[in-house]
Structure 1
């Protein structure tokens, strides 16, 4: 018999819904709770590397993802000169195997909806607008109190509740994300016909200016700047700042900049990073995804690592009959791999902040080699 028969998953993001799907379809009773009232999210895109696509295929949603997203196999490096000169176009690594694209760009809320519908179809019971308020565990299970006054008892609790994880704090893991010293402007807008893959502009007045196609009609574009307090800006002022920063970049940026007209499509966030450097569980409660590790998006591996967490955890939970044997195996398969990705992402940030010409292609290749092997 599997080590568990009932699970509470806290957080309906990528890691949480993937965990719910994999456990529910293997016969585990799954409750999935999400603090937000619905799936509404900031309307930006997401970059899914091949190793993320491999897990999405295992989740049974690959065909829907392919229909909604934009696959591509190249990475361009461009100069911040008046022509936006293409310096090199690299064949991207197919980390999910030769039968999958190297990369898929996608509208983030579309992916969230696909995963949620798959979780419900697999049998997970989903509740929105629900937050836990207390956890008590013993040798046989976990009692969870919710803020709406309800209670539940489970064999296991999975905290997939993001970088500000309530679960992580509730079980006494004293690790919090640290600022990296960079902030990112993102916008979801129209895709020029000339944009058929990701291009990165290194240098100029900002650290990075890049874009990623997300469908035949759309893309998301981003500019990474030194971290600063942008909280006082109105949406209109934020749009103006992004347009001003984008003036330094050309080539396809000249077309993209012309489409930056909707303040509601622009958002700003800070780069942060952390890793829980040790077992990610305390007894029968475990954290995964951004709750356990977060990194700047410089390698576009955040969603991939979250999906790998879910895949490995579900495999071990349903393949072992003793929960105590799950945790050493989970730590062995996930900690070093996630930590290596975080460290590589931070190395890219360090080079950019120091204005050093680091071996970016070499670092990307080393990470690609690591994640090409299934987790």
Structure 2
């Protein structure tokens, strides 16, 4: 029998829905709650590399991801010149194995809906607009009181509620994300035919100007700058700032800019980071995903590392007969070094850019690709 018979998962992002699906498929009764009112997620697009696709296939949703997303196997590098000259086309590493593409871009809310629908299909009880108000862990289980007045008792609680995790705070774990000095503009917009993969431009007024196709007719584009407090800008002003910054970039950017017309599709966030040096549990409450490790998007590994957490945690719980310290030691031993390596590599790439330093980017990327090509 699995180590647990009933589990509460807090947070319906990639990590939470993934662990809920895998545990439910293994015969565990699972409840999934999220404070948001529905499945739609804030954001534009998401880049899913091969190691993320490997877990999505394990979850039984790969066919839907392939249908709704846009797959590609190369990466382009362009110059910040008047023509947006293509200077290199690199074959990307298929970190999920030879039978999966190197990368899939897709609309983030589409992925969220696919995962929540899959969770429901395998028997997970999903409640939106609900969160916990109290966690009482007595060593044998956790009694949870919810914001809707209900309560329940669970063998285990999984906190997968993001970078500013309320579960983490309730456990008394002092871990706050810190800014890296960079901010990123993102826009979700129509895909011109000139965009068939991710291309990156280094230089110009921004550190990085890039884009990723997310479907037959959509993409998200992004510009990375020095962090600034942009909270006072209206949506219309934000659109104008992003359009203005993008004027320095050409080639496909000239086509992308034509479609940058909807202020509601623009958002701006800081690059943030943190890592919780183990353990990731306190008694029978365990944290996964962004709640324990957050990295800047320079490696596009945030969702992938969250999905890997979910896969490893579910594997250990389903293979064990009891929740023991040894189980938690195994979980952290398999996940912390890998997640920390990804965070540190993401930070190194960011620091090289901030310092205007030519670091060994190919060497670092090869090291990361080798690591990720081995399943978590």
Determine if the TM-score, normalized by the shorter chain, exceeds 0.5. yes
Aligned-partner Cα distance in 1 for 2:41–2:308: 23
Aligned-partner Cα distance in 1 for 2:12–2:68: 20
Q: Which residue does the alignment assign to 2:97?
A: 97
1:140 aligns with 2:140: yes
SS of 1:37's partner is coil
Aligned-partner Cα distance in 2 for 1:17–1:133: 21
Q: Which residue does the alignment assign to 1:199?
A: 199
Aligned-partner Cα distance in 1 for 2:209–2:42: 20
CA contact (8 A) 1:273 1:295 kept: yes
Structure 2: gaps of 5 or more residues: none
Give 1:322 shift: 1.9
1:172 aligns with 2:172: yes
CA contact (8 A) 1:188 1:265 kept: yes
Give 1:250 shift: 0.7
Give 1:41 shift: 2.4
* Larger CA deviation: 177-186 vs 143-152: 143-152
Give 1:214 shift: 0.5
Q: Which residue does the alignment assign to 2:279?
A: 279
Q: Which residue does the alignment assign to 1:298?
A: 298
**1:189-268 correspondence to structure 2 within 5 Å:** 189-268=189-268
List per-residue Cα deviations over 1:34-83 (Å, max 9, x = no partner).
00000222350000000000000000000000000000001111111111
Aligned-partner Cα distance in 2 for 1:49–1:138: 40
Total equivalences in the alignment = 375
CA contact (8 A) 1:49 1:300 kept: yes
Aligned-partner Cα distance in 2 for 1:183–1:168: 25
SS of 1:318's partner is helix
CA contact (8 A) 1:42 1:267 kept: no
1:337 aligns with 2:343: no
Aligned-partner Cα distance in 2 for 1:199–1:362: 19
CA contact (8 A) 2:41 2:112 kept: no
Q: Which residue does the alignment assign to 2:318?
A: 318
Structure 1: gaps of 5 or more residues: none
Aligned-partner Cα distance in 2 for 1:366–1:8: 36
Give 1:173 shift: 1.3
1:40 aligns with 2:22: no
CA contact (8 A) 2:40 2:113 kept: no
SS of 1:323's partner is coil
Query: Any runs of at least 4 consecutive aligned residues in structure 1 with deviations exceeding 3 A, and if so which?
Result: none
Aligned-partner Cα distance in 2 for 1:195–1:261: 18
**1:4-83 correspondence to structure 2 within 5 Å:** 4-83=4-83
1:43–1:328 CA distance, 2 compared to 1 (3 A):
closer
Q: Which residue does the alignment assign to 1:374?
A: 375
* Larger CA deviation: 138-147 vs 218-227: 138-147
SS of 1:298's partner is coil
